[in-house]
Amino acid sequence: MSIAVDTAPRQQTGVLVEQVVRKFDGRVVLDHLDLVIGDEELVVLLGPSGCGKSTLLRLLAGLDTPDGGRIEVPAKRAIVFQADRLLPWQRVLRNVTLGLRGPDADQRARKALSEVNLAGREKAWPKQLSGGEAQRVALARALVSEPELILLDEPFASLDAITRVRMHDLVRELRRKHHASMLLVTHDVDEAIALADRIVVMSSGRIGNAHRVELAPADREASVAREEIRAALLADLGLASQH
Amino acid sequence: MTDLIVATTPAPPTDLLRTAPARPRDVFLPSDIRRQSVFGTLRRRLRWPLGIYTTPVVVLVVWELLTQVGVLKPTDAPAPTDIVSTAVTLWNDGILGPDLVISVQRAAVGLALGLSVGVVTGVLGGFLRSGEYLFNGVAQILNTIPLLAVLPLFVVWFGIDELTKILLIAFGAGVPMYLNLFAAIRGVDQRLIEMARTTGAGSWRVVTRVLLPGALPGFLVGLRFSLAYSILGLVAAETVNADEGLGFLITQAQTYLQTNKVFVGLVIYSILGLVADQFVRILERVLLRWRPSFEAA
């Protein structure tokens, strides 16, 4: 145990989580957890409700501080929350420019909105948007700052199944344009397989098994390899006996 | 086998229809208002031509009739037409105009003072923990003291001149503004503040784009209370040693049992209140455009 505070960064890109501990009222939520996310890698954190997924994400976002261990993340990072969290009193464009400075802020926001297929909706009030549209605005708000790390906290959980599939396509498309590491938290096995480079299963405050997913988009929807990964994930989650 | 089923299934419904009474059903069609728009809107206008002023107008008409018939004595309640003509006479005699100006001036100065103090302390209390500790206790205590109960104390402290009147109005306006603004700022959704911070917005951005607009609905509620209480304070203040102003007009008229003049004063107070309320309504309509409001059918 070194007492000297270790603040110097050890790597230039990605995420480094070492032996992180987080307790709430003595209850250990994260128990010496390790996680590494590479540059431009999309890691899906899969686990049941209450396993500490969101706690880990909040730590990476800097919204919370660990009780032990070390976390290293890029300073340029953005979060997409489960709820859209749009400011209802600002029009869509102003919601996207919230964190931007400089004369080209509006221009960049318009570009980000067109990337999520919302060009022309800049002047709408958030209350006039559908759930999928609002979540896409939230996505644009995260992308517009060109972050090196994007944290997604069950961003599509409150959307209907059809909209969710469209959002998955959109995320894949955005990954081609934006070069950022991503951490997506979800409890949806199909969503994990649809999007991940690597799926890590979380249980009792630690990272359990990891599964690398190297499939073509079509194979992610239906293939033998997909079913094998799915079965393995369900086994990790303790649901194997039901299938 | 399948043929048999197909052949027999359609039969029971017709049987049911004949024997059992039809089940109640709803059919929704597009309303035909749009088709006959001119006639439709005219009909709706005619059904409630006065809108929310229906009841006040009915009361006025009944009141006028009762006084004409002689049920109500002019010393108790003069006819509305009498009140209007008295107001016109007073105006033409050059009494009402100056009194009204004095009263509105008092209300404006008191309101400006009360709102300034209320807004400044409300913002400080809302944003800073130390501000909360400084102002909240006092405001909560002051809030429990009725406006009319402090009047005698104000007379002892500040005399019977303008200062007492203005301070009473300011007191009435300041306390509700502080309480509502404080609650509004603290009530801004914590998740939105958190979100704004994660986008990299600085403190100034968070205050101007999240906290202040978020607190605006509560501020307007406070403004409405402030305006109402300031008029209440005005009425109370003007009963003390007034030698000019609407309160003076009323007190003097009461002394000589000129009920019609008393009513003129009351009507003007109520008009001041209505104007203040309309002012806030217009502010709400402009500033809270983002909020889809409930409209009764």
Domain ranges of chain B: 29-72, 78-287
A143: enclosing H helix or E strand: helix A131-143
Beta-carbon contacts of residue B228 (< 8 Å; ≥ 6 apart): B273, B276, B277
Q: How close is the nearest chain B Cα to the Cα of A2, in Å?
A: 31
CA-based torsion, B231, B232, B233, B238: positive or negative: positive
Q: Give how far B34 is from chain A: nearest CA, Å.
A: 24
pLDDT at B118: 94
| Residues A89-109: tens digit of each pLDDT | 999 999 999 988 888 999 999
Lowest average pLDDT, out of A210-224, B146-160, B174-188, B282-296, goes to: B282-296
Residues B250/B185, Cβ–Cβ less than 8 Å: no
**pLDDT top residue among A147 and B15:** A147
CATH fold for domain B78-287 = MetI-like fold (1.10.3720)
Confidence category of residue B34, pLDDT binned at 50, 70, 90:
low
Chain B residue with CA closest to A88: the answer is B290
pLDDT digits 0-9 by tens, B202-243: 888 899 899 999 999 999 999 999 998 888 888 888 877 767
The average pLDDT across A233-243 equals: 75
Tokens 């067109």: give the residue. A114
- Among the partner residues A61, A87, A89, nearest to B198 by beta-carbon distance: A61
The per-residue DSSP string of chain B comes to: -HHHHHHHTTHHHHHHHHHSPPPP-------TTTTTHHHHHHHHHHHSTTGGGHHHHHHHHHHHHHHHHTSS-TTTS--HHHHHHHHHHHHHTTSHHHHHHHHHHHHHHHHHHHHHHHHHHHHHHHH-HHHHHHHHHHHHHHHHS-HHHHHHHHHHHHTTSHHHHHHHHHHHHHHHHHHHHHHHHHTS-HHHHHHHHHTT--HHHIIIIIIHHHHHHHHHHHHHHHHHHHHHHHHHHHTSS-SSSHHHHHHHHHHTT-HHHHHHHHHHHHHHHHHHHHHHHHHHHHHTTTSPPP---
Determine how β-strand A149-153 pairs with β-strand A77-80.
Answer: parallel
CB contact under 8 A, A145 and B199: yes
Give the separation between CA B228 and CA B275, rounded to whole angstroms. 11
The first and second tokens of residue A66, run together, are: 């660990």
pTM exceeds 0.90, yes or no: no
The CA-to-CA distance between both ends of chain B, in Å, stands at 55
Contact B199 A89 (CB under 8 A): no
pLDDT tens readout for residues A3-24: 555 677 777 778 889 899 998 8
The helix (H) or strand (E) run that includes residue A218 is helix A217-221
Q: What is the 3-state secondary structure (H, E, C) of A32-68?
A: EEEEEECCCCEEEEECCCCCCHHHHHHHHHCCCCCCE
pLDDT at A80 (0 to 100): 92
Percent of chain A beyond pLDDT 70?
96
Residue A241 — left, alpha, or beta (φ > 0 → left; ψ -120 to 50 → alpha)? alpha
Q: Residues of A near B (CB-CB distance < 8 A)?
A: 61-63, 77-79, 81, 83, 85, 87-90, 94, 98-99, 125-127, 141-142, 145
Q: Searching chain B, which residue's CA lies closest to the CA of residue A124? A: B290
How confident is the model at residue B152, as a pLDDT? 87
Q: Which two tokens stand for residue B75?
A: 């010393």
At A72 the three-state DSSP class reads strand
Distance from CA of B127 to the nearest CA of A (A): 19
Whether the per-residue pLDDT at B149 is higher than 90: the answer is no
| Alpha-carbon gap: A79 to the closest alpha carbon of chain B (Å) | 7
Q: What is the pLDDT of residues A32-86, one digit of tens each?
A: 888 999 888 999 998 887 788 888 999 999 888 899 889 999 988 999 998 889 9
